[in-house]
Structure 1
Amino acid sequence: MARVVYCGGEFVSEHEARISMFDRGFLFGDAVYEVTAVIGGRMVDNDLHLARLERSLSELAIPMPLPRAEIEAIQHALIEKNQLMEGTVYLQVSRGEEDREFVYSADLKPTFIAFTQAKNLLNNKGQTAGLAVNLVEDPRWNRRDIKTIMLLGQVMAKRDAKAAGFDDTWFVEDGTITEGASSTAYIVTNDKRIITRANSKAILPGCTRAALLRLCSTHGVALEERAFTIAEAQGAAEAFQTSATSLVTPIVRIGDVSLNGGVPGPLTRQLQAYYLEHVNMLQS
């Protein structure tokens, strides 16, 4: 059966959904998006995602298309209509549509679409065995804190990583790791401290990152927010990444260097358990 999606202010079949060719998201990448994980038919950390959506729109002076409560109601309706138990809900808001001009009109009405995707989030290669990540120079613009749909740099990096035998990519700038191509990057030192970059315009403020940092505080796990070098990453005891779709995913190889004998490390496994407990509490 065809998926039900939200487009043009109503729920329609995915085959009936249409967006104008003059939409600024299509013409300029003038749009933002969010992805919320769904596990057991319920959304995970959705309050964080909706707050980040509102912040991203504000940074670009795009108005919210609907009140936050109405957007959440649409998300719930899509999950129910598509009988989604595990996967994601995708939201996208563009500035709106008009004839192609770089300087946009002040009274544009945002274009809002939403859809679900069924995905295996809990039992996949990344969760069980860990991933190998390539290292490449960060190709993106300097406002990475805004979750725009301008993802060509990430698309090219992930394509090249796959062609080279890697599972994913971490970006490098000025000799330090910024973040993953679609994730937050972390290393674990030999004395069991987690290192991850502090939020700034250089990285996206991850929602799963925010949830995990709270869990680290709750469980007394030492964590330091700072940049780390390639040498630190490749000399780390363990590494992992987080995102809405990857949850807490072990990294077992960075470039040509294996970590912890090429298997997920014990602290990473503990953090996976803490996060799944957090997810289960959200379901209750």
Structure 2
Amino acid sequence: MDTPSPSFTRLLPGVVGMTLVGSSVTVSRALVDAPLFTAQAVRYLAATAILLAMARLAGVRLVRPRGWEWLWLSGLALVGLVLFNVAVVQGVKHAEPAAIAVAVACVPLVLGVVGPLLEGRRPSRQVLVAAPVVMAGAVLVEGTGRTDAVGVGWALVTLACEAGFTLLAVPVLRRHSAWGVSVHATWLGGAMLTVLGMVTEGPFAVRELTGDDWAAAGYLAVLVTAVAFVLWYSTVRAVGSGRAGLLTGIAPVAAAGVGAVSGGGVPGAFVWVGIGVVVSGLVLGLRPRAETIAAGRTGTAVRSTSG
């Protein structure tokens, strides 16, 4: 049975989270020449400390993973954080960035199909119709780009990792909440990246980070990780991964907007068309269904009569 359509209030954290993720595209360019694993380890370990402080201030009680939860959370960190970064870096060696972005644009459809199944529901027809629209809009915003066979392979890995970032959290979100999943994912990912950095880049690679690298890592740690993770997982828990997945289409739109503001120039015609298509897909997939509106009116009428 499908879940009721979420209100805008329940969607708002995910909208803000995806906007922050989109803004990271421009910031991440500052880390192109930095040691990859070391810089990302700094980002996620710093985000862990920030999340712990935020949770304490918010009075959130974090619980220790148990049993199979360790497997889900470790898989989330390995796939959604570590392997994702590797796939993007390796992918752009064989493909233009837009080609990798096109693969990521397929995430709404993957989440729309697989997410509800993990949550014990059937996929929503409304989301399945809207997901390809959001995907098409994201492709128009990002462009396509050239690639080779290896690039296609890494693009598919990137897609799987991006989807895994949400799907692997579904089984543990109820017990750990958005805060717990975010904390455990970041410290596990930070630990894995630290080991990778020490093995491949050396134990003193952190000395190679410049002032701009530290500033970029700080922005990513605070807004794109600590804040965006909690906002995103809060929305996934509130409305389900299927409908939340549609919001990933906001990220490329935000990236285009930040790029224009930061000196990248006014977006071209295809970008504007793509933005319009993304918005249309979001309206199509997230609008309240007729039966939900009718049920709400019936409930209001009953309460008025009983009062």
Per the shorter chain, which TM-score range?
under 0.3
With CA pairs under 8 Å and 6+ residues apart, which has the higher RCO, 1 or 2? 2
Higher strand share: 1
Higher helix share: 2
Q: TM-score, normalised by structure 1?
A: 0.28
